[in-house]
Structures are given as C-alpha cells and as structure tokens.
Amino acid sequence: MRLLVPLLLMLSGLCLASNVYIFNYDQEDLIYDPVVGDSIDTGYWIEQTLLSLGDTVDSGATLPSDLSSYDAVFMMMGMYTC
C-alpha cells in the first residue's frame, strides 16, 4: 500500500498537460469501429484519451530523430488480426 501512493502520484504527473508522441508504425492496419462509424488505426483511442485529458499529441508513421521535447512516446506496432 505504501508503494501505491507514490506510483499514483508519478502516473498522475505524466497525465497533466504532457507533450506526447504516438508512433503509429503501420497506419494501413485499420479496423472498423462501430462507435466511430469508420475505420480507425491502432492509435486512435489512445490519441482521443490523451486529448481529452488535455495533453498535446503529435502522431506519425516515422519516429522523430529528437524525442527530447516529448514527455512520453507511445509505440503502436499494429494489431493482431486473424
């Protein structure tokens, strides 16, 4: 329990107006989402969640050479489809 409080504080600090980059490796790997009513890529809901939390989000299919301006990087490597 003692470790839970510092962990939650660290995680909440990451979620307060962070500058985030979403590396979307395979943007052609799409799946139909009935909630959206269209096809989405693997990073769609992560991006929507981060934007709703007030974060600044950049995304792309290539990794920038300098990631020092970002507080966090999410790497979407595609999704498993049968």
What are 23-45's pLDDT values in tens digits?
A: 987 767 788 889 889 988 888 88
Length of the chain: 82
pTM: predicted TM-score of the whole model, two decimal places: 0.69
Provide the pLDDT for residue 67.
92
Q: Which one, of 68, 66, 44, lies nearest residue 57 by Cα?
A: 44
Please say whether the dihedral angle defined by the alpha carbons of residues 81, 24, 57 and 8, taken in this order, is positive or negative. Answer: positive
Average pLDDT of every residue of the chain: 79
